[in-house]
Amino acid sequence: MADPSREASKRLRAELAQGLGYYPASLALEDVARYWEQIADRKAREEAGIREGGHEHRWDHLREQKRRAEVEARGRAEVADLYE
């Protein structure tokens, strides 16, 4: 027969893993409380439309490359008549 406390620990760990995105190492009361706070914060950020992990900057290098190309093209167009 399975140990009920072990089954409860497994369920709690799985539930926390679903919210956190990883399996927590500790199931101490203060750690579990902190995990629930992290899950609540993550849900609040998702509902507010805030993205996780700096993804909002993922394509910045491409935007900057495009901006530089546009600036260069404008500059070339401005001085094109000097060379005709």
Same domain, 20 and 58: no
Same domain, 11 and 41: yes
Burial of residue 35 (CB within 10 Å: 0-12, 13-18, 19+) is buried
pLDDT 10s digits, 25-80: 889 899 999 999 999 998 888 888 766 666 666 777 888 899 889 999 988 888 88
Burial of residue 44 (CB within 10 Å: 0-12, 13-18, 19+) is exposed
> What's the total number of domains in the chain?
2
Same domain, 67 and 44: no
Same domain, 39 and 16: yes
Range of the domain at 59: 54-84
Could you tell me the pTM of the whole model? 0.54
- pLDDT of 84 reads 66
- pLDDT of 57 reads 65
Same domain, 12 and 27: yes
Say if residue 1's pLDDT is above 60. Answer: no
Nearest to 52 by CA among 28, 20, 80, 8: 20
- Is residue 27 within 8 Å of 13, Cβ to Cβ? yes
Same domain, 7 and 20: yes
For the beta carbon of residue 60, count every other beta carbon within 10 angstroms.
Answer: 10
- pLDDT of 63 reads 85
